[in-house]
Amino acid sequence: MAFRAFLLVAALLSLTCFHAAASDPSLLQDFCVVDKMSKVRVNGFPCKDAKDVVAEDFFFSGLHLAGNTTNKQGSAVTPVNVAQIAGLNTMGISLARIDYAPYGLNPPHTHPRATEILTVLEGSLYVGFVTSNPGNKLFTKVLNKGDVFVFPQGLIHFQFNYGTKNAVALAALSSQNPGVITVANAVFGSKPSITDDILAKAFQVDKMTVDRIQAQF
């Protein structure tokens, strides 16, 4: 019994440690505003002296402005993370505004460091995410104004404006720097390129098809 209890405690501790290691650094003081002049390299960003912190370190203006959707995907993301608000450092949160032209797409992508919760402000969106191997189950939903949908951390997800009017959404993410990996860009637009032998076998297509796709990136 004592050995079983020890195993249970050890398992719980390991889960706790894993959770702590997998999240953004926790605050050990009121705030840790990014010191952009520091040459120190840490996991996150070094703090500036508290006496040098000003209100502007916690401020951003611009989410009322629509993004430019005149691109191949017909969408635009306006991020508000630690790069835009220095005071977000160690806070574990960020925002993004996403604009969609009619039939615009925020293409399949992942956020390696964050769960995302999306709220539709205008228009309608067809959204979805795919679970990890081996299931690869697709969850989809049509969202209208005021609807909310969650994309779990690290899973491939997308949003598509299937309507004839512009759409706008606001996303909250559980990291100061969630990161983004757009699947097509990463696979077909890497620098240097992944060899077409590898991609042809992975996607079960011929090399000419791979070359044509890579030329788009």
Q: Which residues are annotated as a binding site for oxalate?
A: 106, 111, 116
Name the 3-class secondary structure at 27.
coil
Sign of the C-alpha dihedral, residues 89, 91, 92, 97? negative
193 Cβ neighbours under 8 A, 6+ residues apart: 214
| CA nearest to 200, candidates 187, 191, 190, 189 | 187
CA separation for the pair 21, 18 (Å, rounded): 5
d(CA 110, CA 123) in angstroms, rounded, equals 23
Query: Of 130, 167, 125, which Cα lies nearest the Cα of 142?
Result: 125
Q: Select from 26, 15, 176, 167 the least CA-distant residue to 86.
A: 176
96, containing H or E segment? strand 94-100
Name the binding residues for Mn(2+): 109, 111, 116, 157
In the annotated binding site, the residues are 106, 109, 111, 116, 157
Tell which residue, 20, 44, 41, has the closest CA to residue 32: 44
